[in-house]
Structure 1
Amino acid sequence: MITARLCAPAYELGEYAAPVAELPELQADPKTAAELTSPAAGFDTYRWSDAPVAELMAAAVQRTLGEAGVPGDEVDLVLLATDSLPAGRAGHREVAELLAETGLTRATASTLGLMDCATAMAALGTAASLVRDGSARQVLVVSGDLADHATGGERVVAGGVAIASDAAAAALVSATAAGLPVLGMAHHTSPVTRTGGGARQELTAKITAHRELFARLAARHPHRPEDVRAVLPSNFARMVLEIYLSDVGYGGEKLALGDVGRIAHCLGSDPLINLTDRLAETSTAGTRTAPGTDDGHLVLLGAGVSHLAAVLLGAQPLPHASEGAF
C-alpha cells in the first residue's frame, strides 16, 4: 500500500501586525478584552492583510514546493480550503492566477468548505486517501482566509474565545517526497444548539465532541495518548484548549500553544502553521531521531464552531521514495 506523506508545510502571515488590545471590538468591551489578553488566554498580536487571499496562498505554496523539491508541473491536484475567495468569476480568476504564478500548470484545482476552521484538516485527509489509492501522486493542500471575508470582518470569533488573523498555509501530500506519514483522519460535527442551556451545556457538548473525535481517530489508527508527542491545534484561548484536550489525555506540554500570543487564530491554517514551526524548532535543536526509530505520533487538530477534524501523523519523517518503488 502506498504511504501518503505530509511534506514541507509552510505559511504566510498577513503583512501587518497589530496589538490585540487595540482592536475596536475589544476597546468597546473591556470585560472581553481583559479575558482574551490575560495570560490564561494568551492573545497579544494579530495579523492582517490588505492583499487578496490568493497572494498569501501563493507565497505559502512557493515555499512548500521549493522545500519539497517537487516542481509545480508534477502536482496533480490542488485542494483549496478557504472561505475567502471572491464569488463567481472573480474567484475563478484568482485561482487561475495562483496556479499560473506557482507553476501548477497540470494541476486540477478544487475548493472545500462548510467545515469552517476544520476544513483544511479534512482536506489533508482527503488528499492522503487519494494518494494511498493511487488516484494522485502529488496533492497540494492550501488553506487561507481573511477575516474581512471569512468572518464578515469580525476579529473576536469562535464564541468569544479567539482573535482572528489573516494568513495562508500549504503542505504537499505525496507518494514519493520525504515527509511525515499520514496515518489517519477523523472528523466530527455537532449541530449548534440554541436550547438556552447556557455555558455549562456548551462546555459539556464541546468535551463530548472532542471525546468522540479522538475515539474515531484511534479507531482509524490505534494509538494511545502517551504515544502522541504533540497536538498542534487551532489557536483558541489557552485555558479553553486545556479543558477540552486534557480531558482526552492531551494536556500539559503535549499541547502546542506557543503561537497563540504571536499570531492569534489564523482560522483553518493554524495546525499547519504550528506544525511548520515545530519542525523548524526540532530541526534547529537537532532532536530528530535516526531513520527507522519509532518517534511516536503528532496530531493536527482543526476546530470550528460545530466541526472538528484531526489528522494523525507519524512523528518520524520517511525519506524520499523513488517512483520505481511503486
Structure 2
Amino acid sequence: MRITIDACSYVLGEIERPYRDVPDFKNMLGRYGYPDEPTVFGWGAYFKTDDDIFDLGIRSARQTLAQSSVSADDVDFVMFCSTCFPGNEIEYINYNARIYESLELKKAFPIGITLNNCISFMSAIVMAENMIRSGAYNNILIITADKVYDESIRFNNFALLSDSAASCLVTRRDVSGLEIMSARFGVSQDPITSNHGKDEPELYGRILNEVLEGSTTSLSDISKVFCNNIFRPVTQLKETRLGFSRRQLYLDNVARCGHCFSADTLINYVDYARQTSPAEGEKFLFSVDAPNLRANMLVQYKH
C-alpha cells in the first residue's frame, strides 16, 4: 500500500524581528559564552505572533485542505501537536470545537500530541502512516503549532525560536507527494539519567540504520536531509558525523526563520520544493531530535 504525505504547508508568526531584538540578547551571549558571530551560528531573523497556537495551526491547515484533493468531509482523524497546550479542561473542549468549525471537519476524531517536544510532528506522521496501513483510517490531517510564551527563552543555548505552524495530510489516496518508505523514532538507552539536550551519537546512528535497513537505501541515495533549524555548527556536527555530506544538508532556514519547534523539517522541505522542483523518485530524509529522542523518516517524491 502506498501512503503519501500530501499538501504540506506552513505559516510563520506575522511579526519578523532581527536576532539582536531578542530581549537581553547581549547578556545571553555572555551567559552562554558565544561571540556575536551570526554567520557562524546562523543567526538571522525570528518570527513571533500575537495570536495563539490554534490561530496559527488553523491558518496552516486551511492551506493544506485547499491544496489537497482530500476534502474536509473525508478527513477521518486529526492530530494537533504542540510542546505546550495552554488553558484548562473547559478551554480544551473549546479548542476541539474551534478546530472543527474553522476547518469544517465532519467526522475527524481529534487527539493532541505533546511530551515529545520537537519530535511531535514527525511522530504523528509515523503514527498516522501505521493507522492508515492498518486499514482503520484513510485520511489523517496533522497540524503542529507552537509559540514562545516567555520572551526570556526566545534565544537559548542551541537555537533561536520562532512562532510557527505546519500541516499536512497523510493519505492512502493516489496523489502526488512524498511517499513514506521507512520511518522510526526511538529513545535514548538511558533516558532517566542521560543528557538533557546533549548530542547522542549512539541513538542517532541506531535510528538512522533502522530506517535505511528498512528501505535498502544508502546514504548516497538521499538527495537532501531536512533537519532541525538549530545553530548551524550543532546541526552540521550531528548529521555529518552520521556520514552525510554538507551538500546533502538543507540549512538555508537556520538564518531565515530559526528553530520552529517540530515544524522545522516540513518547513524546510516546502521551501526546498519551491526552489527546486523535486524529481520523480528523489529521496529525502527527515531528521529530528529532542533531548533523549530521535526520529528519522525516509520518503521519495512521486508525481
TM-score, with length taken from structure 2:
0.91
Correspondences of 1:1-326 after superposition (within 5 Å): 2-31=1-30, 32=32, 34-35=34-35, 37-86=37-86, 87-148=88-149, 154-157=153-156, 160-176=157-173, 177-190=175-188, 191=191, 193=193, 202-203=198-199, 206-283=200-277, 288-289=278-279, 293-295=280-282, 297-314=283-300, 316-318=301-303
1:123 Cα offset (Å): 0.5
Amino acid at match of 2:105: L
Distance 1:103 1:37, change over 3 A: farther
Cα separation, 1, equivalents of 2:96 and 2:85: 8
Residue 162 of structure 1: SS of its match in structure 2?
Answer: coil
Residue 73 of structure 1: SS of its match in structure 2?
Answer: helix
Amino acid at match of 2:299: L
Give deviations 1:26-85, integer Å, cap 9, x for gaps.
Answer: 222334484475312101111111101011001110111111122111101011111232
Residue 63 of structure 1: SS of its match in structure 2?
Answer: helix
Cα separation, 2, equivalents of 1:92 and 1:266: 26
On the 8 A contact 2:183/2:211 being kept in 1, the answer is yes
- Give the count of matched residue pairs: 298
168-177 vs 86-95, which moves further? 86-95
What RMSD, in angstroms, separates the aligned Cα atoms of the two structures?
A: 2.2
Amino acid at match of 1:7: D
Cα separation, 2, equivalents of 1:38 and 1:16: 20
Runs of 4+ in 1 over 3 A off after TM superposition: 30-37, 192-195
On the 8 A contact 1:113/1:119 being kept in 2, the answer is yes
Instruction: Give the share of equivalent positions with the same residue, in percent.
Output: 22
On the 8 A contact 1:71/1:103 being kept in 2, the answer is no
1:220 Cα offset (Å): 2.8
Cα separation, 2, equivalents of 1:104 and 1:36: 48
On the 8 A contact 1:55/1:98 being kept in 2, the answer is no
Distance 1:103 1:137, change over 3 A: same
274-283 vs 2-11, which moves further? 274-283
Cα separation, 2, equivalents of 1:134 and 1:169: 26
243-252 vs 263-272, which moves further? 243-252
1:23 Cα offset (Å): 1.1
1:194 Cα offset (Å): 6.4
Q: Unaligned stretches of 5+ in structure 1?
A: 319-326
Distance 1:38 1:72, change over 3 A: same
Amino acid at match of 2:209: A
1:153 Cα offset (Å): 5.7
Amino acid at match of 2:298: L
Distance 1:129 1:24, change over 3 A: same
Residue 28 of structure 1: SS of its match in structure 2?
Answer: helix
